[in-house]
A and B are shown apart, each in its own frame.
Chain A
């Protein structure tokens, strides 16, 4: 196009004077790589402020760091179960104060809820019916099994139906509970789970972790 003064000759589109280079001067090299990760510092940094206040704040900072680790707000990482449980571990555990938040100030969904098969529903009536249902359910199932043994496989479909119904009721309760976020912590009603024998269910499951939770009662001498 017009204005091509001299083919092939480099011409700047702007006034090179403005940027500070005079015409014909050697331009600095083009930078082909990112700047170095740790560039040289020609000027060393100024020394830190030193004084009584600064020393005190330094000591405070270090103390605070240590104190925070011991507070109940510091949640430790859940330890993985080790292959061999060492005896001494149980007694060397540092005691940490338990902290209970003020539940009145927190949303209701924050309260920890024990997950239990038979959940405590909202109203008394539902609780009664559920209890009734559960008891009849287990009693029913046992009865059914006895009958089945006598009668054979023909009645299996009935039993399955009964179980399905029982299951549906249970799941309905579960949904109710999830939707409404019931506040009460359900009591683990041991009698509901009783299997017509004399043993309490929570006593000896597999023999592991027995007494591990009741650490604070272990200090009394055992005879």
Chain B
């Protein structure tokens, strides 16, 4: 793992789980798989703390364990999974767009808790939804269960591997760690539960008859020993499926930008039809005939068959090659070239970065070299129609930024520089890797800056929170307008302005993090797809 990735993982773990988990997590990422005692010894933390931290990390699928010979259990951290924590808001928002509030809360609970049983998820989500509904209305468990089943059917949530039940209770020595297995067909099997009930509204303490404080009451609720019907069957969010969805979204919006709305709808239909038939890592979808596509178009679209055929031909002839024609049966068989589409998206990202960083003339040279693959210095000047000095300058700027590389072609076996061709070329894979590395660094910088800003103004933030709490409690007990005014004036005008600035800055930094993560997604998908093909 590169230093930038490790730094980013460290910041993410610290923000979400605290310093102890961060120390253990980063140590595991750095050193690879290690047994328990070595971790405790190397990090200098007590065994108890290490165990707690590892339990948390395993629960959230960030660390896996393996039994080695002689019964030693070794723990390994998954660095890429830690980086996914940046994308949680995007996953939750996607669930909201597809399955509305219920789906959103289900995915949120699963992501926050790592793994949960279905009954626990349904109960929690029903409670949360009931809170937001009007007085007197409650959320039924059945509705939440339905949404959960739909999520499982479309593969957005999946079962976690579990311990296979042994038939005989063998009295022999237990293995040091359970071996977890899962079979493909069981992964999305929803257990038959009859969850009956409604969400409970959390009552405020003065309505509660016994007047017990919250602490004791919660302890009671966890103590009730109802047998959980689906004990041991845990569910987790299926991040790969979400990634597939994001990739489809990116392709559809790219087609919409390049051509028009109708073609993007056609591409969306094709992708929807191939969701289940095509594995996510395939370079292109299964061939679809034009007749099938015509039948599966959304109901609102009434375009005739000929128009559809014309659109498909246009798409297939496009130089970007998103759609390809693979045969003529059934009115023409068309595929979507997923790998090429990801490549085009990554290339477009690179071009855009060059343009924003170095200017539009540099971008012109970059696109030229991309198109012609290999060019000499002289040819670049001539083809781009840019004066020699400037072209030279721009090429060297891009070269030092590692967007462009030099390819040497020797004329003689002794590689004498005077008798060697030097050609400029763009190696998309390595440029994508370089940009990805830069993105990780950017996000780490953004997070650090945000933490710095928050720390600088900590005193002010605390003060404003206290004032808000006072105002809220006074409003609840019914205070006059004048009193509220007085309390609000506790925060002076310049302080208010400072708070405004702080809020604006933190929002900007947060929004930047989310958008850099989108670029990271595109680049990572492209790199992954390329590596799988090799």
A residues sitting closer than 8 Å to B (CB atoms) are 12-15, 18-21, 42-43, 45-46, 48-49, 53-54, 56-58, 60-62, 64-65, 67-68, 71, 73-78, 95, 97-98, 101-102, 104-110, 112, 180-181, 183, 215-216, 219
Contacts and interface: CB of A to CB of B under 8 A. Distances in A.
B507 interface: yes
Contact of A68 (B16, B54, B515): B16
Interface residues of B, number: 76
B200 interface: no
B452 interface: no
B20 A77 contact: yes
A42 B511 contact: no
Nearest to A67: B112
Give the residue among A61, A67, A95 with the most B Cβ atoms within 10 A: A61
Contact of B180 (A13, A105, A219): A105
Interface in B369-398: 376-378, 388, 391-392, 395
Given A20-B391, A57-B89, A219-B215, 7 more contacts: A20-B388, A54-B515, A57-B93, A75-B49, A76-B18, A104-B163, A105-B178
Contacts of A56: 93, 96
B356 A43 contact: yes
B298 interface: no
Interface of B: 15-21, 36, 48-49, 51-56, 58-60, 65, 67, 73, 88-90, 92-93, 96, 108, 112-114, 162-163, 173-174, 176-178, 180, 212-216, 218-219, 222, 232, 234, 356-359, 376-378, 388, 391-392, 395, 416-422, 507-508, 510-515
24 contacts: A13-B416, A14-B420, A20-B388, A20-B392, A20-B395, A45-B356, A54-B511, A56-B96, A58-B507, A64-B92, A64-B108, A73-B16, A73-B21, A73-B114, A74-B17, A75-B21, A95-B214, A102-B232, A102-B234, A105-B180, A106-B58, A110-B54, A216-B215, A219-B216
Helix, strand, loop or mixed for chain A's interface?
A: loop
A109 B358 CA distance: 56
Nearest to B59: A101
A109 B58 contact: no
A98 B376 CA distance: 67
Top 8 nearest A-B pairs by Cβ distance? A14-B417, A107-B177, A60-B89, A14-B418, A57-B89, A20-B392, A15-B418, A61-B89
Nearest to B57: A73
Nearest to B111: A64
Nearest to B389: A20
A74 B51 CA distance: 14
Nearest to B423: A18
Question: Interface SS of chain B: helix, strand, loop or mixed?
Answer: helix
Contacts of A183: 174
A75 B22 CA distance: 10
Contacts of A75: 17-18, 20-21, 49, 52-53, 56
B533 to A, nearest CB: 31
A223 to B, nearest CB: 17
A58 B20 contact: no
Nearest to A71: B112
Contact of A109 (B16, B90, B114, B176): B176
Contacts of B113: 71, 73
Contacts of B93: 53, 56-57, 60
A110 B90 contact: no
A183 B514 CA distance: 45
Contacts of B232: 102, 104
